[in-house]
Structure 1
């Protein structure tokens, strides 16, 4: 895993988009990692429980600050072009790895001691974006301004590390209320966020997600079971 610090947005534009956009490759890799760990964790498999505990320690921190995760988060698919994809530049790889690290560690923090999946893929019927998740924390007939301001504050973060820390505060609220989030979607957005004009585009996506959830009926989650404390430390 590349150990560079989260870079500041550069003035250069990303290279020409491949057949499979980089942010989509990041999202798919995040989904693959989380899907395996989440299934194992919910079935109390020791390897997955241990992996989640390691991941949690990296939440809100730069990718290079947690060497313990270098062997855990497999970024090999980003380095090996698949069919109809091109090799990624060093700048793209660093940003993709930063986004993947941030999304996976936030999910681990969210999933801690929860007995139902905290990563849930977005669908039209059940919006799963960050804005939609924030909206579900609010009453159906009003807006909780302090909560809404947390989303706004995250969107105005000056760098990825600050954004990760502010997202961790939001995830703490989601975790408390058992509100899931599409972490694959978030991973792709975190990649885009690091490019010029990326923060503005991601903020618009979060805003649309917020209003999309408001227009839908409250989502009915699967029946939940009592929380466990198998890794509450």
Structure 2
């Protein structure tokens, strides 16, 4: 069962983290808990479109960006919406976070948006629970990516692996981190925190496995 959405919700035109988190929560609630209602059918259609958008370049996909901006409830505040010829950092982050969420929710039977669990902690859990030797090299390649296109390609691969193991994370927080990566002064801080979170997630998962394993 997914967590019930906040009836009151964030204030209108909230910040990026609240907007993306509330939108992901609403979609997964309708998809999982109201699947046989019109709201459930609508959620399935939206998630399918988001999944399709995960391979798009936001800078050259104005209709896809428009769809995502209109899907967000509450909408981004005026300070975070773009005004020039390029998407704003918040628009880019919302686009990538929600399109990857659509990919993560494909055939899901439980919530893939989990408030409070960072993306990198989830990847650490994936590493600890997997027999594949490719998880950490994939994560490291994403960390070392020199441009957004390469980073998103690696993120898409990691989210597909997380989906296969049913490991969730916080998409509101993820969107906030993606926005920070657009700023050179903040980028290293985010990547450093992701590295720590990856180690923390791996350690916790290993400890849980040890505790659950019979003597």
**TM-score normalized by the length of structure 1:** 0.70
Aligned length: 185
C-alpha contact 1:59 1:102 (8 A) present in aligned 2:
yes
Q: Does 1:110 align with 2:110?
A: no
Q: Which residue of 2 aligns with 1:158?
A: 146
The structure with higher relative contact order (CA 8 Å, sep 6+) is: 1
Cα RMSD for the two superposed structures: 2.7
Counterpart mapping for 1:69-84 below 5 A:
69-74=65-70, 77-80=75-78
**Which runs of no fewer than 5 residues in structure 1 stay unpaired?**
1-23, 82-86, 123-127, 220-233
Distance 1:145 1:77, change over 3 A: same
Task: Quote how far apart the aligned CAs of 1:168 are.
Answer: 0.3
Q: Does the CA contact (< 8 Å) of 2:69 and 2:75 recur in 1?
A: no
CA distance in 2, matches of 1:147, 1:71: 32
Q: Please report how far the alpha carbon of residue 185 of structure 1 lies from its aligned counterpart in structure 2 after TM superposition.
A: 1.0
Residues 103 and 46 (structure 1), Cα distance of their counterparts in 2 relative to 1, 3 Å cut:
same
Q: Offset at 1:106? A: 0.3
The residue aligned with 1:97 is 91
Residue 119 of structure 1 deviates from its aligned partner by: 0.8
**Partner in structure 1 of residue 124 of structure 2:** 135
Q: Is the alpha carbon distance of 1:35 and 1:158 closer, same or farther for their aligned partners in structure 2, counting shifts above 3 Å?
A: same
- Contiguous gaps of at least 5 residues in structure 2: 1-13, 210-215
Query: CA–CA distance in 1 between the matches of 2:48 and 2:82?
Result: 31
- How many Å separate the matches in 1 of 2:15 and 2:67? 20
In structure 2, the residue matched to 1:189 is 177
Shift of 1:152: 1.1
Larger helix share, 1 or 2: 2
Conserved 8 A contact 1:61-1:164: no
How many angstroms does 1:139 deviate by? 3.5
- Alignment-derived partner of residue 30 in structure 1: 20
Counterparts of 1:177 and 1:97, CA distance in 2: 29
